Amino acid sequence: MTHTPTPAAVPAPAFAPDGPVRWVALGWNDPAAAELRALMDAEIKPRYAVFEPRPHLPPPPTADEIAVTWIAFTGSGEPVATASLRALPGDRWEVKRVFVRADHRGRGLAAAALAAVEASAAERGVAELMLQTGVRQPEAAALYAREGWYRIPPYPPYSRDPYSVCFAKWLPATGRAERGSRA
């Protein structure tokens, strides 16, 4: 699924070593998104190896659940950052897979990706957005706190995972009334 972003949803400019990045709204199965998720898995999975096996973890999202995946590309076309917006049962929405390649961190790309997903959610009339990270990802928790997210108890499908750390954020009401969505 490709989402045509409105100007409000396009992230603020950020920079890579070869200049500004270009943000594109793509689908979950796009090769650039899959490449970044594989890099994230390679980095994060070893942190949780001590807790294996974890049979209570939910399956990964499907393409049908993902409304939009934002990808930042360098001037040379390399994908360097991503975040996705996922629909959950019960009219709930969450941010998935916020990730920046290690060699591009410290440039505001994670905050920009998060802001893009928040804007995409607000465009859909979402009032509250949630996300899940883990106890072995303190840098992620620090980012979310800096960006105005607050801790909540683990929500389904993560409520059975003792290593989940969950956050939520209320989004601006702008746009919800016009769309007739609940506030």
Q: Where are the domains of the chain?
A: 15-179
Mean pLDDT for 123-139 is 96
What percent of the chain is predicted at pLDDT more than 70?
A: 84
Rounded-to-integer distance, Cα 106 and Cα 98, Å: 14
pLDDT at 6 (0 to 100):
45
pLDDT of residue 17: 58
pLDDT at res. 149: 98
pLDDT tops 70 at residue 10: no
Q: Give the C-alpha separation, 11 to 121, whole Å.
A: 13
Phi, psi of 137 (to 5 degrees): -130, 60
Mean pLDDT score, 139-151 = 97
What is the rounded average pLDDT for all residues in the chain? Answer: 88
For residue 78, what are the contacts with CB-CB under 8 A and spacing of at least 6? 16
CB atoms near residue 44 (< 10 Å): 15
1 pLDDT more than 70? no
Q: Helices 138-146 and 109-123 meet at what angle, rounded to 10?
A: 60
As a dihedral over the C-alpha atoms of residue 181, residue 96, residue 35, residue 23, rounded to 10 degrees, the angle is: 50
Helices assigned H by DSSP within the chain? 31-48, 109-123, 138-146, 176-179
Q: Which amino acid is at 78?
A: E
Give the pLDDT band (50/70/90) at residue 14.
low
Place 11 in a pLDDT band, splitting at 50, 70 and 90. Answer: low
pTM across the whole model = 0.85
- pLDDT for 174: 57
Output the CATH code of domain 15-179: 3.40.630.30
